[in-house]
Amino acid sequence: MINTKYTCGAFLLSLGLLTGCGEKFLDEKPADQITDANFYQTQTDAIQAVTASYSELTKEGQYNAALWAMDIMADISTVGGGGGGDGIEYQQLENFSIPTTNFVATRLWQGSYIGLGRCNIVLQKVPLITNIDPAIQKRCLGEAQFLRAKFYFDLVRAFGDVPLLLTPPASVSDANIARSPAADVYKQIEQDLLAAITNLPTSYSGADLGRATKWAATGLLAKVYLTEGNKTGAAEQARAVINGSGKSMWANYGDNFKVENENGKESLFEIQYINGRNQYDRNSVGFAGNEFFGPRGQGITPQNGYGFNVPEPDFVNGYEAGDTRKAVTIWAPGDTYPADPTNPGVRTQPKSLPGSPFGYDCKKWFVGKVNTNVWDSPLNIPVLRLAEMYLILAEAVGPTTEGLEAINKVRRRSFGLDYNTPSAAHDLTASSGNFTDAVIRERKYELAFEFDRWFDLKRLNGTANGLLPVMTAQTNYLRTLGIQRGTPTANNLVLPIPQSERDANPNLSQNPGY
């Protein structure tokens, strides 16, 4: 796991806390504090600065709040929670009635720009450091390139055109630039990832485990190409990961989501979390999902569970019989809770809970009472897994021999079978029906609650698997169950540009309909 002890110091550096001063006695470099004048001098400084670039991934602007909405705005889950105004920021997204002050959209924008801003500092300063191992210097640049691409990939998918900042702004006016066309942003993402692939090592060990590798950059590039519709490029990059990374899938799907298997054999890149810091904070180093997604009021998480991100009934019912992913992903009525010495006796998931009238909750990120703390789970979030590379390859090449074998590996594992051994019962064939539909469905269940479904629906818009037809049908279905949610329009293919950002930057235009 990435060593986090340097994050705080590097965070201060990334804020650019430097101002000019005309007083001569202030021209001397301060020796008792960190500034640009005495930092970015050594290899340790470079590593600290890169570590700070990772840290925003763990916070509200990314995997500790904002990206949870990618399933809520899709056909995976509803808000849940305690009802009323609980989770109003997610209710606004679920109902596609999103004000420009929405907390989730604002934090996603802000967190992403903080993160990529730190990457820009690394890319500007680290090449100038002379007291550094050239291999470490090269690696630091590759990590910053990978992370900048990751932040921009989230931004462009969520907001469309966004400002393209590639160097630290020297002044406020330098930062207040207009939005660049999405095509230009994607071009930069590709350039960063291609550079990262050449700069990054293939693996790490010890305290560096969890840093971005060549294979993380290659896998992300495959996903970027697929999003852009470049199926040839997507297939090439996914194939490179499958054949060259040395990665393999776990025999059991659930092994991807165990603390003891973090950064394991199927993982290409994960968000690194630790616990034990006594924190009620989604902007720190522990993952909040254990508590926020835990069954509400059931006492199986430290603070009784908040019950957000509730699986929708048709999603749950859509699992094929025998699919082992269901028990890993879903708490369903009658499921037995872990034994609890403080609450003896066998306890099971109720048929109905606050915020979940059908008795379902998200189980994938459950770790139980890991300690007495809230919002402080140690479970990492996989961002890229080998299984997704197989699904990208399958979607990119279609129902060829290669494509069928790729999707069937994922399917076999889901039924508890050896994924390299053909299965007459579960393998798809060229005559199995619409292959694209099958791949998209497999993504839905393989990657459920990994915060990607809305992005999938967006990139598929214009097809039967796109956001507008899928969510219109979903809204109508939920209303038959007495669950009210809004129907998206074409404007909801992107989020609103946060009003606070437009107030600060008069050159930012707003997306249509907001």
* pLDDT, tens digit (0-9, with 9 covering 90-100), for 209-249: 999 999 999 999 999 999 999 999 999 999 999 999 999 99
State the Cα angle at 321 between 315 and 327, rounded to 5°.
65
The helix, strand and coil proportions of the chain, stated in percent and rounded to the nearest 5, come to: 45, 5, 45
* Spatial separation of the C-alpha atoms in residues 249 and 419, rounded to whole Å: 8
Residue found under tokens 């009802």: 83
pLDDT over 80 at 16, yes or no: no
For the chain, the domains span 39-175, 201-272+380-408+419-443+451-477, 288-362
Q: Where are the alpha helices (DSSP H) in 209-336?
A: 214-228, 231-244, 289-292, 313-317, 325-329
Q: What are phi and psi of 366, to 5 degrees?
A: -75, 130
CATH dotted code for 39-175: 1.25.40.390
Q: Is 254 helix (H, G, I), strand (E, B) or coil?
A: helix
**What pLDDT shows up at residue 340?**
85
**CATH T-level topology, domain 201-272+380-408+419-443+451-477:** 1.25.40
Q: Which residues pair with 162 in a beta bridge?
A: 180
Kindly give, in sequence order, each residue whose CB lies less than 8 Å from that of residue 435, ignoring residues fewer than 6 positions away: 394, 398, 399, 403, 404, 428
Closest by CA to 169, choosing from 230, 105, 124, is 124
For residue 98, the number of C-alpha atoms closer than 13 Å in the C-beta half-sphere is 29
Q: Which residue has the higher pLDDT, 27 or 453?
A: 453
- What are the structure tokens assigned to 363, written together? 């189980």
Kindly give, in sequence order, each residue whose CB lies less than 8 Å from that of residue 204, ignoring residues fewer than 6 positions away: 210, 211, 213
CB 196 within 8 A of CB 212: yes
**What pLDDT shows up at residue 30?**
54
- What are the structure tokens assigned to 210, written together? 């969890």
* pLDDT, tens digit (0-9, with 9 covering 90-100), for 323-346: 999 999 999 999 999 998 777 888
Residue type, 232: T
Q: Is 54 helix (H, G, I), strand (E, B) or coil?
A: helix
For the chain, give the mean pLDDT: 92
pLDDT over 80 at 12, yes or no: no
Rounded to two decimals, what is the model's pTM?
0.93
Q: What percent of the chain clears pLDDT 90, i.e. is strictly above it? A: 86
The arithmetic mean of pLDDT across residues 479-492, rounded, is 93
* Spatial separation of the C-alpha atoms in residues 198 and 158, rounded to whole Å: 28
State the Cα angle at 233 between 231 and 236, rounded to 5°.
105
* Spatial separation of the C-alpha atoms in residues 275 and 371, rounded to whole Å: 8
**What pLDDT shows up at residue 495?**
98
* pLDDT, tens digit (0-9, with 9 covering 90-100), for 86-143: 999 999 999 999 999 999 999 999 999 999 999 999 999 999 999 999 999 999 999 9
- What are the structure tokens assigned to 333, written together? 């009525």
Q: Which residue has the higher pLDDT, 34 or 134?
A: 134
How many angstroms separate the first and last alpha carbons of the chain? 41
User: Matching CATH topology for 39-175 and 201-272+380-408+419-443+451-477?
Assistant: yes
Q: What percent of the chain clears pLDDT 70, i.e. is strictly above it? A: 93
- What are the structure tokens assigned to 53, written together? 């670039």
Q: What are the distances in angstroms from CA 66 to CA 184, 283, 326? A: 24, 12, 24
pLDDT over 90 at 294, yes or no: yes
Q: Is 361 helix (H, G, I), strand (E, B) or coil?
A: strand
* pLDDT, tens digit (0-9, with 9 covering 90-100), for 94-104: 999 999 999 99
* Spatial separation of the C-alpha atoms in residues 509 and 338, rounded to whole Å: 51
The arithmetic mean of pLDDT across residues 260-268, rounded, is 97
pLDDT over 50 at 257, yes or no: yes
Q: Is 74 helix (H, G, I), strand (E, B) or coil?
A: coil
* pLDDT, tens digit (0-9, with 9 covering 90-100), for 460-479: 999 999 999 999 999 999 99
* Spatial separation of the C-alpha atoms in residues 14 and 4, rounded to whole Å: 15
Q: What are the distances in angstroms from CA 177 to CA 163, 198, 341? A: 6, 31, 58
* Spatial separation of the C-alpha atoms in residues 302 and 181, rounded to whole Å: 45
**What pLDDT shows up at residue 18?**
29
**What pLDDT shows up at residue 21?**
33
Confidence of residue 31 (pLDDT cuts 50, 70, 90): low
Q: Which residues pair with 78 in a beta bridge?
A: 310
The arithmetic mean of pLDDT across residues 409-431, rounded, is 98
Residue type, 208: D
Quickly list DSSP for 118-177. Answer: HHHHHHHHGGG--BS-HHHHHHHHHHHHHHHHHHHHHHHHHHSSB----S--SSHHHH--
pLDDT over 90 at 364, yes or no: yes
CB 322 within 8 A of CB 423: no
* Spatial separation of the C-alpha atoms in residues 220 and 346, rounded to whole Å: 44
* pLDDT, tens digit (0-9, with 9 covering 90-100), for 184-211: 999 999 999 999 999 999 999 999 999 9
**What pLDDT shows up at residue 277?**
80
State the Cα angle at 30 between 26 and 34, rounded to 5°.
130
**What pLDDT shows up at residue 60?**
96
- Biggest alpha carbon–alpha carbon distance for the chain: 81
**What pLDDT shows up at residue 19?**
28
